[in-house]
C-alpha cells in the first residue's frame, strides 16, 4: 500500500500556502526555544484571534456559548485553547494535543565555579540525548531568573548576531585515543557537560577572578546575584535560527521540531477556524513529555480535567461530576507527536513498509511503545476508520507508521494518559530525521499536511454512530 509523495499533488496555490505556513512556523520555532517561550507566543497568537483568558470568565461568572474562544495558561509552561462548539460538552470534544518541551541542557541551581582560569556553569541534561552531540557547538541561554522580591528577569543570550554564545568543549582528536575507544554512550559523561561562560579575570581580585568577572556581568547587565540562581530556570539550547535544508529548500533544519512542529500545526489549525465548530475544539500543549509527563505542567497533572470542569460550570445548566466524566469519555483526540522518519542511511533500524517516509504527509501511529507495545496506546480500528474518511474527504495526504523495527527500540507520547479517561486517541505527527539531536530535519510538505489534518479533525470528528 504505497502512499503518495505529497509534493506530487500540489498546484501553485498549494505551494504558496505551504511556504507561508513554513515561514510562520520558522518564526514560532525560533522564538519558542523553551516551553515558556512557546506558551508566551501561543497566547499572543490566540489573543490576536479573539481568545480570552478562562480565568477572567470564571471571575466574572460569565456564561460561555458556542463561538466563544478561551485559553488556559498553566504556570507559563503549558497552555490550552478552547473553541466552544454547538454541541454540549457532554457529547465530547475534539482535541489536538502536543508537547512543547524538547531535549536540552539545564543549568543547575548552584551552578557557577572556576577552574584553571575558566568560569563554568554546572548542568543537568533534560530528556533523551546523545551527549556527544552537544559538545563543540554554539549554545544559547534561555530562561528566567526570579528574584526574592518576585521580579522575573527574562534571559536570552546568544540569539542576536551581536550576542556572545557559550558552549561545552571537547577533547582534541590528537589526544583522544582513549576517548575514541569508548562506547558512544560513554564518550561524554553527564557531569562533563559543563558550559564555559567566561575566560577573563576581573582585575584586582585574587580569589576566583574569572568567576568574579562572570558575577560582575550578571549583576551589571541583569541585576542578578549569584544566589538568585537558586530560583532560576535557565536552559542551554543550540544557538541560531531555523534554516531551509536541501538545495530545493524542501526541508527545515532546526532545534526543537520534536515536538514543536506538531504544537505549531495544532495552534495554526485551531486559529484558522472561522466558524463555531459542531463540537468544542481544544488545542492542548503540554510540558514534561520528554521526562514522562510528570509534574504540575506535565500531562499526568489534572489541569486539562480541571479546565473541562470549569467549562462545564460555565456552559451546562447544572454541573455534576458525572457530566464531566461523560464529557471526557466521549471526547476524541489526536496525540500530535513526531514520528521517526525513514532514513535510508540507517535502514536496518526500520521496517520500510511500516515506516514514516519524508514528504509523504502526516503520519498516524496506531501504537507506539517499546518492543511488545509496552507503554503504548493502541488505537481502536473503528476510530481509525473514521479518521480515514475525514482525511480523504479533506484531501489530506497521510500515512501510517511504527517507530522502528519491533525489537530495536520505541518511544511514547501523551496518548496513553488521555486514553485513561476512556476517550478515543491515536498518535499523529510529522516524520523527523535526527530526532533528539540538537538540530533535527522535517519536510515542509509534512508540516503543511499536518496543519490540514488537524484542522479537518477538529472540524469533522464526531462520536461513533450507535
Same domain, 153 and 42: no
Q: In the prediction, which pLDDT does 457 show? A: 98
Inter-residue contact 293 to 299 (CB < 8 Å): yes
Same domain, 282 and 198: no
Same domain, 372 and 412: yes
Which of 52-56, 335-339, 402-406 is predicted least confidently? Answer: 402-406
User: DSSP secondary structure string, 361-421?
Assistant: -EEEES--EETTTBT-----HHHHHHHHHHHHHTT--EEE--SS-TTT-EE--SHHHHHTT
Same domain, 35 and 59: yes
CA distances from 315 to 60, 95, 176, 279, 423 (A): 14, 18, 66, 13, 21
CA distances from 5 to 2, 332, 362 (A): 9, 28, 11
Question: Residue 366's domain is classified under what CATH number?
Answer: 3.40.630.10
5: which DSSP letter?
P
| Number of domains composing the chain | 2
- Domain of 298 in residue numbering reads as 6-102+255-460
Same domain, 348 and 385: yes
Same domain, 122 and 225: yes
pLDDT tens track for 156-165: 999 999 999 9
Judged by phi (left if over 0) then psi (alpha if -120 to 50, else beta), residue 158 lies in: left
Q: In the prediction, which pLDDT does 411 show? A: 80
Give domain status of residue 250, yes or no.
Answer: no
Which of 33-37, 83-87, 318-322, 429-433 is predicted least confidently? Answer: 318-322
Burial of residue 441, with CB atoms counted within 10 A of its CB: 0-12 exposed, 13-18 middle, 19 or more buried: buried
Same domain, 28 and 151: no
pLDDT tens track for 409-427: 778 888 999 999 999 999 9
Residue whose C-alpha cell reads 501510517 in the numeric block: 400
Whole-number Å distance between alpha carbons of 446 and 448:
5
pLDDT surpassing 90 at residue 406: no
Whole-number Å distance between alpha carbons of 325 and 327:
5
Whole-number Å distance between alpha carbons of 287 and 372:
27
C-alpha grid cell, residue 163: 550576542
pLDDT tens track for 251-293: 999 999 999 999 999 999 999 999 999 999 999 999 999 999 9
pLDDT surpassing 80 at residue 327: yes
Which of helix, strand or coil describes residue 290? Answer: helix
Mean pLDDT of 144-160: 96
The mean pLDDT value of the chain amounts to: 95
Domain end point (choices 204, 238, 272): 238
Mean pLDDT of 125-152: 96
Same domain, 279 and 398: yes
In terms of pTM, does the model score above 0.85?
A: yes
Same domain, 149 and 203: yes
Domain end point (choices 238, 269, 289): 238
Amino acid at each position: 500500500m504505497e502512499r503518495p509523495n505529497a509534493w506530487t499533488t500540489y498546484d501553485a496555490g498549494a505551494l504558496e500556502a505551504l511556504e507561508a505556513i513554513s515561514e510562520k512556523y520558522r518564526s514560532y520555532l525560533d522564538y519558542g526555544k523553551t516551553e515558556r517561550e512557546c506558551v508566551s507566543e501561543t497566547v499572543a497568537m490566540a489573543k490576536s484571534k479573539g481568545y480570552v483568558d478562562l480565568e477572567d470568565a470564571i471571575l466574572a461568572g460569565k456564561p460561555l456559548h458556542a463561538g466563544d474562544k478561551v485559553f488556559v495558561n498553566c504556570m507559563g509552561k503549558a497552555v490550552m485553547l478552547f473553541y466552544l462548539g454547538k454541541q454540549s460538552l457532554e457529547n465530547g470534544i475534539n482535541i489536538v494535543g502536543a508537547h512543547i518541551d524538547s531535549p536540552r541542557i539545564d543549568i543547575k541551581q548552584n551552578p557557577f565555579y572556576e577552574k584553571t582560569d575558566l568560569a563554568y556553569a554546572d548542568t543537568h541534561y533534560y530528556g533523551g540525548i546523545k551527549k556527544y552531540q552537544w559538545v563543540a557547538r554554539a549554545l544559547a541561554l534561555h530562561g528566567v531568573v526570579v528574584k526574592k522580591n518576585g521580579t522575573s528577569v527574562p534571559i536570552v543570550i546568544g540569539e542576536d548576531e551581536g550576542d556572545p554564545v557559550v558552549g561545552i568543549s571537547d577533547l582534541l582528536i590528537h589526544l583522544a585515543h582513549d576517548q575514541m575507544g569508548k562506547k558512544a554512550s560513554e564518550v561524554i559523561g553527564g557531569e562533563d557537560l559543563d558550559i564555559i561562560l567566561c575566560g577573563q579575570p576581573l582585575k584586582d581580585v585574587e580569589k576566583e577572578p574569572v568567576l568574579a568577572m562572570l558575577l560582575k556581568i550578571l549583576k551589571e547587565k541583569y541585576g542578578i546575584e549569584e544566589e538568585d540562581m537558586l530560583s532560576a530556570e535557565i536552559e542551554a539550547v543550540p544557538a541560531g535560527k531555523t534554516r531551509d535544508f536541501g538545495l530545493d529548500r524542501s526541508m527545515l533544519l532546526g532545534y526543537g521540531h520534536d515536538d514543536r512542529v506538531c504544537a505549531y500545526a495544532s495552534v495554526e489549525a485551531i486559529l484558522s477556524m472561522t466558524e463555531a465548530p459542531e463540537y468544542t475544539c481544544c488545542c492542548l500543549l503540554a510540558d514534561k513529555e520528554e521526562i514522562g509527563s510528570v509534574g504540575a505542567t506535565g500531562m499526568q497533572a489534572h489541569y486539562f480535567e480541571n479546565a473541562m470542569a470549569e467549562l462545564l460550570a460555565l456552559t451546562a445548566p447544572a454541573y455534576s461530576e458525572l457530566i464531566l466524566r461523560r464529557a471526557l469519555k466521549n471526547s476524541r483526540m489526536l496525540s500530535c507527536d513526531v514520528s521517526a522518519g525513514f532514513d535510508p542511511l540507517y535502514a536496518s533500524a526500520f521496517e520500510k513498509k511500516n515506516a514514516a517516509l519524508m514528504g509523504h504527509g502526516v503520519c498516524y501511529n496506531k501504537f507506539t511503545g517499546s518492543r511488545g507495545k509496552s507503554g503504548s496506546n493502541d488505537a481502536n480500528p473503528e476510530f481509525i476508520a473514521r479518521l480515514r474518511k475525514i482525511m480523504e474527504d479533506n484531501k489530506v495526504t497521510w500515512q501510517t507508521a511504527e517507530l522502528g523495527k519491533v525489537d530495536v527500540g520505541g518511544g511514547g507520547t501523551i496518548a496513553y494518559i488521555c486514553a485513561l479517561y476512556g476517550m478515543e486517541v491515536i498518535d499523529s505527527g510529522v516524520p523527523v530525521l535526527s530526532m533528539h539531536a540538537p538540530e533535527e530535519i522535517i519536510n515542509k510538505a509534512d508540516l503543511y499536511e499536518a496543519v490540514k489534518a488537524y484542522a479537518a479533525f477538529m472540524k469533522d470528528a464526531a462520536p461513533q454512530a450507535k
